[in-house]
Amino acid sequence: MFSFILAALFVSAQAHSAHFKLADKFIGSDFFSGFDWKTFDDPTHGRVNYVDQQTAMATNLSYASAGNTKFFMRADAHTVVSDDARGRDSVRIESFSAYDQSVFILDVEHMPAGCATWPAFWSFSQSSPWPQGGEIDIIEGVNLNTNNLASLHTIANCTMPEERSQSGQTQSTNCDTNVNFNQGCGTSLTQSNSYGSPFNSNGGGWYAMRRTQDIGIQVWFWPRDSWRVPLQVRYPFIFEHIGFGTDNWGEPDASFPVKECDYSTHFDSHKIVFDLTFCGDWAGNVFASAGCGNSTCVDFVDNNPDKFKEAYWEINSFERSREVMASFILLLVLSCLPSLLALPLEKRDDNIPARVPYIFPEAGTDSLADSFRARRTNGVLLDLDGVLLNSRPVAAGWNEVFGAIRSNNTLPGDMRELLILRTAAINNAAYQWIQHEPEGRAEGLTTEQLLFVRLTPPFGSANSSTITQSLGPHLSAAMIYADEVALNIRVSEETFNSLRVFLNDTQLVDAAATAGGYNWVSRFTVGLDIDGKANVPVPIPQG
């Protein structure tokens, strides 16, 4: 059986589509060291004055949030622009590094919006002259647009089929910049909150772009409130060390295949760009029909600083994952084999021998054993009970204490089970997890939440906003509390007070009893190898 599974995994690794592993991550102040602030004249002839990093920081046009969890880039929204100025102060940044076959994931909460604005998140080649090496526009729009436009701009002989596997609407098929006034080959996203003010009102979302030589270039968008967001996108830190694929991401919003556009001829390594210009070749040319009033675009930009308060990027994170070879995937599969083999465990007791014998008295012949049966599903003793009955005083005390914790606990059921499951995950107590995952589901914990509890590294407080988003405030506080009880024993005032917001004094005692008690359970079940699970990884929850 083992050799069959191993052979199947080997074939799977060889045949598997591309796999990616984190290579670069930018959060908060990381942007200041990873990107270059450009000051040249706008190539698209916008009414803009791009400033250097020092000026941008001094004038609050570029900054990291107080907790260093966000990065902001904005336009000036205070100054009337003089006629002889280059334009309104703004920011254009380019990555110092250039990248080829990769997956890029942008978690963005707010993008520039409003009349005369032309923001973009895109990439371009360092080859000269442009468009040698290609350009990929991931986020782009102008004025009051609500639907994002993803496009390619290339040298000649690059076209896209009118019909292809994408959810967006094809706007043009010839990517050659010398055709159709450099319209490029664009796809308009169908989601009306993929750009501009509707995007911002919804809390933003995630954009991802994948580029590989064999398939081409794809762009995905997931709104902040979408249930379709892949785990690899919503919780990237879980996959930092193991990598991920994109097979479960669904149909891309925009797809640019290589059938009629040779990848190696038209695309090479690209730098990443975030910018915000005004008017220019696109926003300026359509300004009169954009519903922005009767003035010219330039007059609007110069004389209405208060209209640019929404002209800013608010970025939670930007990550680049590189493609890794099949040999790495096979190594990864082999390293994860114990976890994979643990997945089929469905029985809550397999009756695998422990380090001491199980004692299972017949029903009705032993009052202590029957007291355990009274708490068990269908009155069936667990392997844990069979081990405990080797020491009757311990068994009696155990049954009383954990009977109270499990049956008379005043905590919300989902919080109680999260404390137990998180403790099992931290302590690698597979038996404890197997017993309580069904209980957690019965109390309302979703598969996504269980995955989060199982896979998030200890002390996820560094990602507290992500934890809260997945679990909600009360379960988020409980999970951080469980981590500190298991690993520090001492609980910080900050963590305890976060839990106190949701619990009264009785419930706080119950929380301490649950977290502390189930750390004892973990050590007891692992130490005595109950059900032979001491060396079995905690299973990964399945949908």
Task: Write the class of the CATH domain 348-532.
Answer: mainly alpha
| Nearby residues of 365 by Cβ (< 8 Å), 6 or more positions away | none
Task: Report the helix count and the strand count for the chain, using DSSP H and E.
Answer: 19, 18
Give CA–CA dist 39/37, Å, rounded. 7
Q: In what order do the strands lie in the sheet with 135-140?
A: 35-37, 92-99, 270-278, 117-125, 135-140, 149-153, 185-188, 169-170
pLDDT in tens, 404-431: 998 889 999 999 999 999 999 999 999 9
Q: Name the least confident of 32-46, 94-108, 375-389.
A: 375-389
The 8-class DSSP code of residue 244 comes to: B
The phi, psi pair for 531, rounded to 5°, reads 60, 20
Burial class of 462 by CB neighbour count within 10 A (0 to 12, 13 to 18, 19+):
exposed
Query: Is 0.85 topped by the overall pTM?
Result: no
Residue 386: name the closest of 419, 332, 346, 431 by CA: 431
Q: Which amino acid is at 273?
A: V
Chain-centroid distance, C-alpha 128: 36
pLDDT at 349: 67
Residue 525 scores a pLDDT above 50: yes
Instruction: Calculate Rg over the CA atoms of the chain.
Output: 28
Using the Cα atoms of residue 25, residue 27, residue 32 and residue 37 in order, give the sign of their dihedral: positive
Percent of the chain with pLDDT over 90: 74
Give CA–CA dist 288/446, Å, rounded. 50
pLDDT band per the 50, 70, 90 thresholds, residue 9: very low
pLDDT band per the 50, 70, 90 thresholds, residue 240: confident
pLDDT at 469: 67
CA angle, residues 208, 144, 284, in degrees to nearest 5: 100
pLDDT at 237: 77
CB neighbour burial string for 264-297, b if at least 16 within 10 angstroms, e if fewer: eebbeebbbbbbbbbbbebbbeebeeeebeebeb
User: Where do the domains of the chain lie?
Assistant: 2-326, 348-532
Give CA–CA dist 279/345, Å, rounded. 61
pLDDT band per the 50, 70, 90 thresholds, residue 309: very high
pLDDT at 138: 98
pLDDT band per the 50, 70, 90 thresholds, residue 468: low
SS3 of residue 116 by DSSP = coil
Which listed residue (135, 319, 323, 484) is catalytic? Answer: 135
Chain-centroid distance, C-alpha 433: 25
Give CA–CA dist 137/262, Å, rounded. 18
Which listed residue (140, 319, 323, 437) is catalytic? Answer: 140
Q: Tell the CATH topology of 2-326.
A: Jelly Rolls (2.60.120)
Give CA–CA dist 165/250, Å, rounded. 10
pLDDT in tens, 149-208: 999 999 999 999 989 999 999 999 999 999 988 899 999 999 999 999 999 999 999 999
Same CATH topology for 2-326 and 348-532: the answer is: no
Mean pLDDT value across the chain: 89
> How confident is the model over 435-460, as a mean pLDDT?
87
The question of whether 140 is a catalytic residue gets the answer yes
Give CA–CA dist 61/54, Å, rounded. 10
Residue 6 scores a pLDDT above 70: no
List the structure tokens of 182: 């450099």
Helix ranges (H only) for 164-270 are: 196-201, 231-234, 263-266
Residue 7 scores a pLDDT above 80: no
